[in-house]
Chain A
């Protein structure tokens, strides 16, 4: 499988930011990052049963002196809300990359409500939200978001638009 170049650049940006743990609930849009994390002997990838586990994992990483990023889909944002009190209350950094569903060319109506709500509920929960639309801006945005999160010790989400990821194709 040939991966788009920007996804390799995003992994390099996470590495450059010192990310040593990656928690994830799989999404097709994160496939390259997940595979790269598992292929990297210096990365600790952790598959999660639900996204809120990743917030707590990242908090523990920070307590232990390491940096963690969480990969999830927009549908997982709703699972995270109360756990986001952890980085907010503890003034911890938190970085998540969220692949968006329920917008560009979405086939599945069940993805629409949480896709629409995701940036709003993240903002309401105290997370700084960035959104990448174009392949040429993603890696730089992730690098800046990581610097912001870990240097200013704030929670930051980078939303990767469905147009960028590519709408899921349902025709076999």
Chain B
């Protein structure tokens, strides 16, 4: 059994850096620790947190990106969540959308359920999958210098990034979880609410 993940980045520090001074960046987070990390970085109406719908984060990002072609969308999710929606990597690449980036916090584990090894901890390489799906810009970051450069690039480029984070568990930070509330405040902040 190959255990190839060698990440040592601190996920909270990584996400705080990626989301620093977010401006009008439209953020979607995958369920579990990615949602907690984004909430800990600072709750804001233009963060749409998933607490379920596993595998859906990147596709929600695509729907927003197509609806808001002049804005930038950043999806922040975990390896397990992206593995469940791996087909979305092909769908997004094929869609031609040019205002979306996906950042996968990859610890090679299903952290929410007892830290069992995920497929990326057993040899699968999501960056290689994204490349094979047609993503033109794919980056794997292993240190904070690379993360700092990614913060800017993820807001400018249509790219897929894997961030090799440590499997260390963090205290849960719980942002709002009422889906109707999250939806309504996102639409109002974006100025698209109709009532």
Contacts and interface: CB of A to CB of B under 8 A. Distances in A.
B53 A82 contact: yes
Contacts of A82: 52-54
A40 to B, nearest CB: 14
B74 interface: no
Contacts of A64: 26, 63-68, 71, 190, 192
Interface residues of A, number: 32
B131 interface: no
Interface size on B, as a range, is: 35 or more
Nearest to B186: A63
A59 B180 CA distance: 12
A56 B50 CA distance: 11
Contact of B180 (A53, A54, A55, A90): A90
B48 to A, nearest CB: 6
Interface string A65-105: 11010000000000000110110011110000000000000
B76 interface: no
B190 A46 contact: no
B50 to A, nearest CB: 8
A60 B183 contact: no
Contacts of A54: 59
B62 A46 contact: yes
A60 B61 contact: yes
19 contacts: A44-B66, A46-B62, A48-B87, A48-B91, A49-B91, A56-B53, A56-B55, A57-B59, A57-B60, A60-B61, A61-B63, A61-B67, A63-B64, A66-B67, A68-B63, A83-B53, A86-B52, A89-B179, A91-B179
Interface of A: 20-21, 44, 46-50, 52-66, 68, 82-83, 85-86, 89-92
